[in-house]
Amino acid sequence: RDALRPIVRRRRSSGRLGDDVLGQMLRPSSHYGLLPEEAILDPLPGITLATFETPSRAAGWILLHLARYPQAAGRVAAEAALLPADPAATTSTHLDSLQYTQALVREVLRLHPPSWLLTRRATRQTQLADYTINAGSTVLVCPYTAHRDAREHPEPDRFRPERWLDDSGSPAKPGVFLSFGTGPHGCEGAALAMAMLTLLTAQTARRYHLSEPPGPEPSYQLATFEGLATVGLRLRATLRS
């Protein structure tokens, strides 16, 4: 917040708001009007982090699955063929048309949530199953294990993007999809991160066949410090004809 505050003030005083996310937040909207400074500074750090933290970790898992599941990658490529040649011309309408690509991204995030451990603080004493949680206690929530609950996700260890295209596979159901947290403390940048990952997946599959090169298995090292990531991931990319 301390680093962003002078940037917000400098843009407002100069009148050069910019055409990035901050620039859009600085412009008055028909619904909210002109946002006060604090209303911009509250969500902006989370949005800023969401543009590189979760996507950079998730990207490795997504590229790995495009390499390991060529049939799914081909389906993404076919869907992405309808995108504009210039990525900058992509609109929300184009994003909405990438239904299978979004399902693949969500399935990868289900199996390998970059933020695999979340914390919440109990504001009052409550009962959780057979346990009493005292007010002020910190509760650890593990999306990695929650996402592999067969009661919510049939065949939970199987990579099956189609599950998110079914009516039953709705990420809006509380507690089902936790890759961006949930509730009032969920990630403010979730929509932006999903848009970035969807476009990354679509444009990559559109241009390249990915595969794992010969060598030690697996082609990466698993890291869990600060997030679930594929450290040193090695993949081979060949142009699609």
Whole-Å CA distances, 211 to 68, 105, 200, 205: 7, 18, 17, 11
Q: Do residue 21 and residue 60 come from a single domain? A: no
> 78 and 31, same structural domain?
no
The answer on 34 and 152 residing in a single domain is no
- Displacement of CA 74 from its chain's centroid (Å): 22
Shared-domain flag, residues 71 and 173: yes
Q: Identify whether the C-beta of residue 223 lies closer than 8 Å to the C-beta of residue 233.
A: no
> pTM here?
0.83
Q: Is residue 119 part of a domain?
A: no
Tens-binned pLDDT, residue by residue, of the chain (241 aa) = 899 999 999 999 999 999 888 999 999 988 889 999 999 998 888 777 767 777 889 999 999 999 999 999 999 999 999 999 888 899 999 999 999 999 999 999 999 999 899 888 999 999 988 999 999 999 999 999 999 999 999 999 999 999 999 865 566 677 789 988 887 777 777 888 899 999 999 999 999 999 999 888 889 999 998 889 999 999 999 999 8
23 lies in the same domain as 104: no
**Domain interval for residue 70:** 49-112+146-239
**Which residue bears the tokens 């594929």?**
230
Residue 50: how many CB atoms within 10 A of its CB? 21
DSSP annotation of 177:
-
Same domain, 216 and 176: yes
Answer whether residue 128 is part of any domain.
no
Is residue 162 domain-shared with residue 75, that is, in the same domain? Answer: yes
Asked if residue 188 belongs to a domain, the reply is yes
Same domain, 78 and 28: no
Domain count, the chain: 2
Distance CA(153)–CA(72), nearest Å, equals 19
The answer to whether residue 140 is domain-embedded is: no
Within 8 A by CB and 6+ apart from 144, the residues are 112, 113, 116, 117, 228
Please tell me the distance from the alpha carbon of residue 52 to that of residue 207, in angstroms, as a whole number.
23
Residues 205, 77 contacting (CB under 8 angstroms) = yes
